Amino acid sequence: MAGFKAYLQLVKFRLTATVVATSVFGYLLGCKWQAQAGSISDFFQWKEFAGVLLGGLLVVFASNGLNQLIEKGPDAKMSRTKGRPLVEDRMTENEARWFSLICGILGLVTMALTTNFVATLLSLISLITYVFFYTPMKGKTPLAVMVGAIPGALPPLIGYTAVVGRIDEIGVVLFLIQFFWQFPHFWAIAWLLHEDYQKAGYWLLPSIGGRDKKSAYQVLIYTVVLILSSLMPVFYGLAATTCLTLVLPAGMFMLWRAYKLFRTLDVAEARKLLFTSFVYTPVVFVAYILF
């Protein structure tokens, strides 16, 4: 039987925690939007919050586990993934399958019992899109990044709808911010690991030339769109203009890193862009909550 460490690796626990953190931001922003001029605490409910947190963790556990189950063959070819538990036979495929299915069912049931229909449905769509659309597409087309950005952008919307019970303009804006953020973030990863991905037959950079100007140009363009999307909560009244004291510097720094990559095409610049992207969304979402 697989050990505890193997299960942590199967569900990519650290990655899962960062994904679920965005749903927590979405939940708090939902409370803020409902409260309007009042206090977030007036709409904060521990049962809902715990459901978003626990249900989200379990659904992402399921998504990551099923993803590794499907990608066992390609994972064995890449340096980055050849130490995963299924590849090293530290866990059987049957163990991974049942664990993932149980996590998925428990996660959706938790969401259904503690939140509402919309948040639960979005959680299901996230799981299905990631496992059955994005995962098979990775070895066939760079458009997989576009499809994978959909489940990656749903957590803030899931947290938000858990409070408001509907998809409205604010929820769509939160989705768009997370959606466009993933392109510079994921392409920075693809830039760093281009040769490793090719070993498994994955071509995830946007240009057929790989690490070329065309790929870097798209990173730059999507970063600009991300920054513009990040200004929209002010337009819709979710956050005050004072939030721009954090949002704009974060955006300009992100844009500077994307521009440096465009100028140099250097792997070191891709790494700097990646680290910047890790900081960007927490800074932006915290700014929306505080102001």
133 is written with which tokens?
């659309």
Does residue 17 sit in the same domain as residue 160?
A: yes
Check if the beta carbon of residue 250 is closer than 8 Å to that of residue 275: no
Q: Which residues of the chain have pLDDT under 50?
A: none
Does residue 21 sit in the same domain as residue 116?
A: yes
What is the Cα–Cα distance from 81 to 89, expressed in whole angstroms? Answer: 13
What is the Cα–Cα distance from 64 to 280, expressed in whole angstroms? Answer: 24
What is the Cα–Cα distance from 219 to 213, expressed in whole angstroms? Answer: 10
What pLDDT, on a 0 to 100 scale, did the predictor assign at position 140? 85
Does residue 194 sit in the same domain as residue 268?
A: yes
Q: Which of 137, 167, 197 is the last residue of a domain?
A: 167
Query: How many folded domains does the chain comprise?
Result: 2
What pLDDT, on a 0 to 100 scale, did the predictor assign at position 40? 87
Does residue 126 sit in the same domain as residue 145?
A: yes
Q: CB 68: neighbour CB atoms within 10 A?
A: 24
- The DSSP element (H or E) to which 54 belongs, if any, is helix 46-70
Does residue 108 sit in the same domain as residue 235?
A: no
What pLDDT, on a 0 to 100 scale, did the predictor assign at position 59? 98
Does residue 182 sit in the same domain as residue 163?
A: no
Reported pTM: 0.95
Does residue 163 sit in the same domain as residue 197?
A: no
Does residue 157 sit in the same domain as residue 231?
A: no
Print the domain residue range for 186. 173-291
138 φ/ψ angles, rounded to the nearest 5 degrees: -55, -35
Inter-residue long-range contacts of 272-281, CB under 8 Å, 24+ positions, other chains counted:
273/184, 273/188, 273/219, 274/185, 274/188, 274/189, 274/192, 277/181, 277/184, 277/185, 277/188, 278/185, 279/250, 280/181, 280/250, 280/251, 280/254, 281/22, 281/25, 281/177, 281/178, 281/181
Does residue 67 sit in the same domain as residue 193?
A: no
What pLDDT, on a 0 to 100 scale, did the predictor assign at position 37? 67
Distances (CA, A) of 111 to 56, 58, 116: 8, 10, 7
Q: Which of 167, 192, 211 is the last residue of a domain?
A: 167
Q: Which of 109, 138, 167 is the last residue of a domain?
A: 167
Does residue 95 sit in the same domain as residue 115?
A: yes
Does residue 154 sit in the same domain as residue 121?
A: yes
What pLDDT, on a 0 to 100 scale, did the predictor assign at position 214? 96
Does residue 149 sit in the same domain as residue 182?
A: no
CATH, residue 60: 1.10.357.140
